[in-house]
Structure 1
Amino acid sequence: MNYQDLTPVFATAPTLKLRARRLREGTEMTHAESLEALAHEYGLKDWNTLSAKAAPPPTLHGLGAGDRIPGPHMSKPFTGVVKGLRSSFAGVVHHIVIRFDEPVDVSKSALMQIPRHQIQFEINDDGITDGHTSDGVPYLVLEL
Protein backbone atom coordinates (compact mmCIF):
# COMPACT_ATOMS: atom_id res chain seq x y z
CA MET A 1 0.00 0.00 0.00
CA ASN A 2 1.39 3.42 -0.89
CA TYR A 3 0.99 6.78 0.86
CA GLN A 4 -1.72 7.93 -1.59
CA ASP A 5 -3.96 5.06 -0.46
CA LEU A 6 -3.95 6.51 3.06
CA THR A 7 -4.63 10.12 2.09
CA PRO A 8 -8.28 11.11 2.67
CA VAL A 9 -10.20 13.26 0.20
CA PHE A 10 -11.18 16.57 1.79
CA ALA A 11 -14.62 16.86 0.21
CA THR A 12 -17.95 15.37 1.22
CA ALA A 13 -19.74 12.87 -1.02
CA PRO A 14 -22.33 15.50 -2.15
CA THR A 15 -19.49 17.84 -3.15
CA LEU A 16 -17.79 15.03 -5.08
CA LYS A 17 -21.06 14.24 -6.88
CA LEU A 18 -21.39 17.92 -7.82
CA ARG A 19 -17.87 17.81 -9.27
CA ALA A 20 -18.81 14.70 -11.25
CA ARG A 21 -21.94 16.46 -12.58
CA ARG A 22 -19.78 19.38 -13.75
CA LEU A 23 -17.31 16.95 -15.29
CA ARG A 24 -19.99 15.48 -17.54
CA GLU A 25 -21.51 18.82 -18.65
CA GLY A 26 -21.45 19.06 -22.43
CA THR A 27 -20.49 15.40 -22.85
CA GLU A 28 -22.34 12.16 -23.53
CA MET A 29 -21.00 10.74 -20.26
CA THR A 30 -23.52 9.10 -17.92
CA HIS A 31 -23.65 9.93 -14.22
CA ALA A 32 -22.00 6.63 -13.31
CA GLU A 33 -19.24 7.19 -15.87
CA SER A 34 -18.55 10.67 -14.51
CA LEU A 35 -18.28 9.30 -10.96
CA GLU A 36 -15.76 6.71 -12.13
CA ALA A 37 -13.83 9.34 -14.13
CA LEU A 38 -13.65 11.57 -11.06
CA ALA A 39 -12.28 8.69 -9.00
CA HIS A 40 -9.59 8.16 -11.63
CA GLU A 41 -8.70 11.88 -11.47
CA TYR A 42 -7.96 11.33 -7.78
CA GLY A 43 -5.83 8.33 -8.73
CA LEU A 44 -8.27 5.86 -7.25
CA LYS A 45 -9.67 2.61 -8.64
CA ASP A 46 -13.38 3.49 -8.64
CA TRP A 47 -16.19 5.61 -7.22
CA ASN A 48 -16.72 3.29 -4.24
CA THR A 49 -13.12 3.82 -3.15
CA LEU A 50 -13.42 7.59 -3.61
CA SER A 51 -16.70 7.83 -1.70
CA ALA A 52 -15.19 5.77 1.16
CA LYS A 53 -12.42 8.37 1.42
CA ALA A 54 -14.86 11.31 1.35
CA ALA A 55 -14.92 13.67 4.28
CA PRO A 56 -17.71 13.03 6.78
CA PRO A 57 -20.70 15.38 6.79
CA PRO A 58 -19.91 18.57 8.70
CA THR A 59 -20.68 18.82 12.38
CA LEU A 60 -20.40 21.65 14.82
CA HIS A 61 -19.48 20.34 18.28
CA GLY A 62 -21.11 17.04 17.32
CA LEU A 63 -24.20 18.80 15.97
CA GLY A 64 -25.61 17.59 12.66
CA ALA A 65 -28.73 17.62 10.52
CA GLY A 66 -31.75 16.31 12.41
CA ASP A 67 -30.44 17.28 15.83
CA ARG A 68 -32.46 19.45 18.21
CA ILE A 69 -30.97 22.77 19.28
CA PRO A 70 -32.04 25.61 21.64
CA GLY A 71 -30.88 29.19 21.84
CA PRO A 72 -31.92 32.79 21.37
CA HIS A 73 -32.66 34.27 17.94
CA MET A 74 -32.71 38.08 18.12
CA SER A 75 -32.98 37.77 21.92
CA LYS A 76 -36.06 35.50 21.65
CA PRO A 77 -35.68 31.93 22.98
CA PHE A 78 -36.33 29.04 20.60
CA THR A 79 -36.04 25.31 20.19
CA GLY A 80 -35.78 23.74 16.80
CA VAL A 81 -34.29 21.15 14.48
CA VAL A 82 -31.13 21.54 12.41
CA LYS A 83 -32.30 21.09 8.81
CA GLY A 84 -28.87 21.60 7.27
CA LEU A 85 -25.28 22.25 8.26
CA ARG A 86 -22.45 23.04 5.86
CA SER A 87 -18.91 24.03 6.79
CA SER A 88 -16.35 26.04 4.87
CA PHE A 89 -13.26 24.23 3.65
CA ALA A 90 -11.28 25.46 6.62
CA GLY A 91 -14.16 24.55 8.95
CA VAL A 92 -14.18 28.02 10.51
CA VAL A 93 -17.54 29.26 9.20
CA HIS A 94 -20.66 27.11 9.22
CA HIS A 95 -23.90 27.66 7.32
CA ILE A 96 -26.82 26.40 9.39
CA VAL A 97 -30.54 26.10 8.67
CA ILE A 98 -32.86 25.73 11.66
CA ARG A 99 -36.60 24.99 11.61
CA PHE A 100 -38.26 26.30 14.77
CA ASP A 101 -40.68 24.15 16.77
CA GLU A 102 -42.86 27.25 17.23
CA PRO A 103 -42.58 30.45 15.15
CA VAL A 104 -40.35 33.11 16.71
CA ASP A 105 -41.68 36.67 16.57
CA VAL A 106 -38.63 38.83 15.83
CA SER A 107 -40.49 42.16 15.93
CA LYS A 108 -39.52 44.58 18.68
CA SER A 109 -42.84 46.42 18.25
CA ALA A 110 -46.05 45.45 20.03
CA LEU A 111 -47.95 46.83 17.00
CA MET A 112 -46.78 44.18 14.53
CA GLN A 113 -45.60 40.61 14.38
CA ILE A 114 -42.83 39.15 12.26
CA PRO A 115 -42.95 35.40 12.82
CA ARG A 116 -40.03 33.29 11.62
CA HIS A 117 -40.54 29.57 11.05
CA GLN A 118 -37.07 28.84 9.70
CA ILE A 119 -33.76 30.71 9.60
CA GLN A 120 -30.37 30.29 8.01
CA PHE A 121 -27.17 31.98 9.11
CA GLU A 122 -23.40 31.81 8.93
CA ILE A 123 -22.06 31.05 12.40
CA ASN A 124 -18.60 30.59 13.92
CA ASP A 125 -17.28 27.56 15.84
CA ASP A 126 -18.95 28.85 18.99
CA GLY A 127 -22.40 28.83 17.30
CA ILE A 128 -22.69 32.63 17.18
CA THR A 129 -23.31 34.93 14.20
CA ASP A 130 -20.89 37.75 13.47
CA GLY A 131 -23.86 39.96 12.56
CA HIS A 132 -25.87 41.60 15.31
CA THR A 133 -28.85 43.82 15.95
CA SER A 134 -28.51 47.60 16.39
CA ASP A 135 -28.22 47.09 20.16
CA GLY A 136 -25.24 44.74 19.73
CA VAL A 137 -27.00 41.40 20.33
CA PRO A 138 -25.94 38.62 17.90
CA TYR A 139 -28.73 37.49 15.55
CA LEU A 140 -28.27 33.88 16.65
CA VAL A 141 -26.56 32.20 19.59
CA LEU A 142 -26.75 28.41 19.75
CA GLU A 143 -26.65 26.74 23.15
CA LEU A 144 -24.02 24.10 22.38
Structure 2
Amino acid sequence: MPTLAAAKSQAKRLRERLAAEDMPISHGHALELVAHQHGFRDWNAFHAAIGNRPPDAFVPGGRVQGRYLGQAFDATILAVDMLRPGWFRLELDLDNAVDVVSFDSFSNFRKRIRGTVGPSGLSRERSSVGQPHLEIDL
Protein backbone atom coordinates (compact mmCIF):
# COMPACT_ATOMS: atom_id res chain seq x y z
CA MET A 1 0.00 0.00 0.00
CA PRO A 2 1.35 3.48 -0.78
CA THR A 3 1.98 6.20 1.77
CA LEU A 4 -0.57 8.98 2.07
CA ALA A 5 1.73 11.37 0.22
CA ALA A 6 2.22 8.85 -2.60
CA ALA A 7 -1.55 8.27 -2.93
CA LYS A 8 -2.23 12.00 -3.12
CA SER A 9 0.54 12.39 -5.69
CA GLN A 10 -0.99 9.56 -7.73
CA ALA A 11 -4.37 11.35 -7.65
CA LYS A 12 -2.76 14.59 -8.77
CA ARG A 13 -1.04 12.88 -11.70
CA LEU A 14 -4.30 11.15 -12.67
CA ARG A 15 -6.17 14.45 -12.60
CA GLU A 16 -3.50 16.17 -14.72
CA ARG A 17 -3.48 13.30 -17.23
CA LEU A 18 -7.25 13.32 -17.62
CA ALA A 19 -7.29 17.11 -17.95
CA ALA A 20 -4.70 16.84 -20.73
CA GLU A 21 -7.08 14.45 -22.52
CA ASP A 22 -9.94 16.96 -22.14
CA MET A 23 -11.66 14.95 -19.38
CA PRO A 24 -11.27 17.21 -16.31
CA ILE A 25 -12.26 15.80 -12.92
CA SER A 26 -12.21 17.27 -9.42
CA HIS A 27 -9.42 16.48 -7.02
CA GLY A 28 -11.92 14.65 -4.80
CA HIS A 29 -12.99 12.45 -7.70
CA ALA A 30 -9.34 11.66 -8.47
CA LEU A 31 -8.81 10.63 -4.83
CA GLU A 32 -11.86 8.35 -5.02
CA LEU A 33 -10.55 6.73 -8.22
CA VAL A 34 -7.16 6.08 -6.60
CA ALA A 35 -8.91 4.49 -3.62
CA HIS A 36 -10.89 2.23 -5.97
CA GLN A 37 -7.68 1.23 -7.78
CA HIS A 38 -6.36 -0.05 -4.46
CA GLY A 39 -9.54 -1.99 -3.69
CA PHE A 40 -11.25 0.39 -1.26
CA ARG A 41 -14.85 1.59 -1.42
CA ASP A 42 -13.93 5.28 -1.05
CA TRP A 43 -11.16 7.71 -0.16
CA ASN A 44 -12.08 7.81 3.53
CA ALA A 45 -11.68 4.05 3.91
CA PHE A 46 -8.40 4.15 1.98
CA HIS A 47 -7.11 7.06 4.05
CA ALA A 48 -7.97 5.24 7.29
CA ALA A 49 -6.19 2.09 6.10
CA ILE A 50 -3.08 4.03 5.10
CA GLY A 51 -3.12 6.26 8.16
CA ASN A 52 -0.05 8.39 8.37
CA ARG A 53 2.24 5.42 8.61
CA PRO A 54 5.86 5.83 7.64
CA PRO A 55 7.19 4.42 4.39
CA ASP A 56 8.01 0.71 4.67
CA ALA A 57 11.76 1.37 4.96
CA PHE A 58 11.30 3.68 7.98
CA VAL A 59 12.00 1.01 10.59
CA PRO A 60 15.18 0.37 12.55
CA GLY A 61 17.40 -1.72 10.30
CA GLY A 62 15.65 -0.47 7.16
CA ARG A 63 17.70 0.75 4.22
CA VAL A 64 17.29 4.16 2.58
CA GLN A 65 19.00 6.24 -0.06
CA GLY A 66 19.10 9.98 -0.44
CA ARG A 67 21.22 13.08 -0.19
CA TYR A 68 22.66 14.87 2.83
CA LEU A 69 23.85 18.40 2.17
CA GLY A 70 23.70 17.55 -1.53
CA GLN A 71 25.84 14.40 -1.26
CA ALA A 72 24.36 11.03 -2.19
CA PHE A 73 24.29 8.29 0.42
CA ASP A 74 23.04 4.80 1.22
CA ALA A 75 22.23 4.23 4.89
CA THR A 76 20.76 1.98 7.54
CA ILE A 77 18.11 3.46 9.82
CA LEU A 78 19.16 3.24 13.47
CA ALA A 79 16.11 4.95 14.99
CA VAL A 80 12.84 6.51 13.84
CA ASP A 81 10.36 8.65 15.77
CA MET A 82 7.06 9.98 14.45
CA LEU A 83 6.84 13.61 15.52
CA ARG A 84 3.40 14.24 14.04
CA PRO A 85 1.50 12.68 11.15
CA GLY A 86 3.79 12.51 8.13
CA TRP A 87 6.90 13.87 9.91
CA PHE A 88 9.67 11.55 11.11
CA ARG A 89 12.96 12.07 12.92
CA LEU A 90 15.53 9.62 11.57
CA GLU A 91 18.92 8.59 12.85
CA LEU A 92 20.99 7.16 10.01
CA ASP A 93 24.24 5.22 9.79
CA LEU A 94 25.71 6.10 6.39
CA ASP A 95 27.58 3.40 4.49
CA ASN A 96 30.22 5.98 3.56
CA ALA A 97 30.90 9.18 5.49
CA VAL A 98 30.02 12.50 3.84
CA ASP A 99 31.91 15.78 4.17
CA VAL A 100 29.61 18.33 5.81
CA VAL A 101 31.94 21.28 5.13
CA SER A 102 32.09 22.97 1.76
CA PHE A 103 35.47 24.69 2.26
CA ASP A 104 38.42 23.36 0.25
CA SER A 105 40.89 23.84 3.11
CA PHE A 106 38.82 22.07 5.79
CA SER A 107 36.81 18.84 6.03
CA ASN A 108 34.49 17.30 8.59
CA PHE A 109 33.19 13.83 7.74
CA ARG A 110 30.07 12.37 9.29
CA LYS A 111 28.92 8.79 9.18
CA ARG A 112 25.94 9.13 11.54
CA ILE A 113 23.37 11.83 11.00
CA ARG A 114 19.99 12.82 12.41
CA GLY A 115 17.31 14.70 10.60
CA THR A 116 13.58 15.26 10.32
CA VAL A 117 11.76 14.64 7.05
CA GLY A 118 8.18 15.31 6.01
CA PRO A 119 5.71 13.41 3.83
CA SER A 120 7.75 14.00 0.68
CA GLY A 121 11.02 12.82 2.27
CA LEU A 122 12.51 16.33 2.50
CA SER A 123 13.72 18.18 5.57
CA ARG A 124 12.30 21.59 6.38
CA GLU A 125 15.82 22.90 7.04
CA ARG A 126 17.48 24.34 3.94
CA SER A 127 20.94 25.43 2.89
CA SER A 128 21.64 29.03 1.90
CA VAL A 129 20.78 28.12 -1.72
CA GLY A 130 17.43 26.58 -0.72
CA GLN A 131 18.43 22.91 -0.93
CA PRO A 132 16.98 20.65 1.79
CA HIS A 133 19.62 19.45 4.25
CA LEU A 134 18.25 15.90 4.15
CA GLU A 135 16.46 14.25 1.21
CA ILE A 136 15.23 10.66 1.47
CA ASP A 137 14.23 8.88 -1.76
CA LEU A 138 10.76 7.46 -1.14
Is the TM-score greater than 0.5? yes
Q: Do the aligned residues in 2 keep the contact of 1:59 with 1:85 (CA within 8 Å)?
A: no
Alignment partner, residue 115 of structure 2: 121
Give the equivalent residue in structure 1 for 2:68: 73
Q: Which has the larger radius of gyration?
A: 1
Q: What is residue 139 of structure 1 aligned with on the other side? A: 133
Structure 1 segments (4+ residues) deviating >3 Å: none
8 Å CA contact 2:73, 2:95 repeated in 1: yes
Q: Between Structure 1 and Structure 2, which shows a larger proportion of strand residues?
A: 2
Alignment partner, residue 83 of structure 1: 78
Q: Which amino acid aligns with 1:79?
A: D
- 8 Å CA contact 1:100–1:118 kept in 2: the answer is yes
Question: Per the alignment, do residues 120 and 59 of structure 1 end up closer, same or farther by CA in structure 2, a change over 3 Å counting?
Answer: farther
Unaligned ranges ≥5, structure 1: 1-57
| Percent identical | 19
CA distance in 2, matches of 1:71, 1:93: 16
CA distance in 1, matches of 2:54, 2:96: 23
Deviations 1:38-75 (A, max 9, x none): xxxxxxxxxxxxxxxxxxxx952112110111111000
Q: Deviations over 1:89-124 (max 9, x none)?
A: x42321111011111112111111110111111110
| Partner Cα separation in structure 1 for residue 70 and residue 98 of structure 2 | 10
> Which segments of 5 or more consecutive residues in structure 2 lack a partner in the other structure?
1-51
Q: Are residues 59 and 117 of structure 1, via their aligned partners in 2, closer, same or farther at CA, if it must alter by over 3 Å?
A: farther
How many residues were matched structurally? 86
Residue in 1 aligned with 2:26?
A: none
